[in-house]
Amino acid sequence: MLIRVVRTDSRHDMVKEYQLDDLIDRGEIVKFQRSSGWVTIGVDPVRKRRQAVHRDQERRRQPQQGAA
């Protein structure tokens, strides 16, 4: 699936869905379009990356050291 984005140099582009997280992380886009409308990076809520969610879940499952 292709997603419409606006790059930091104001160019409009279409990127593959799997590229979106990396482009956001690298600061290469300022907006992308969802079915509900345009999302502005740093203003509108953006979901967490799937890998980050899995790491958070794994960290929660580990027993805390020093617990009696």
Burial 43-63 (b: 16+ CB within 10 A, else e): eeeeeeeeeeeeeeeeeeeee
Compute the chain's Rg from CA coordinates: 16
Query: Is residue 6 pLDDT above 80, yes or no?
Result: yes
CA gap 40, 31 in Å, rounded: 5
Query: Is residue 56 pLDDT above 60, yes or no?
Result: no
The pLDDT of residue 23 is: 95
Residue range 7-36: average pLDDT? 95
**Does the model's pTM come out above 0.75?**
no
Residue range 1-12: average pLDDT? 96
The pLDDT of residue 53 is: 46
Domain positions in the chain: 2-61
Residue range 34-59: average pLDDT? 74
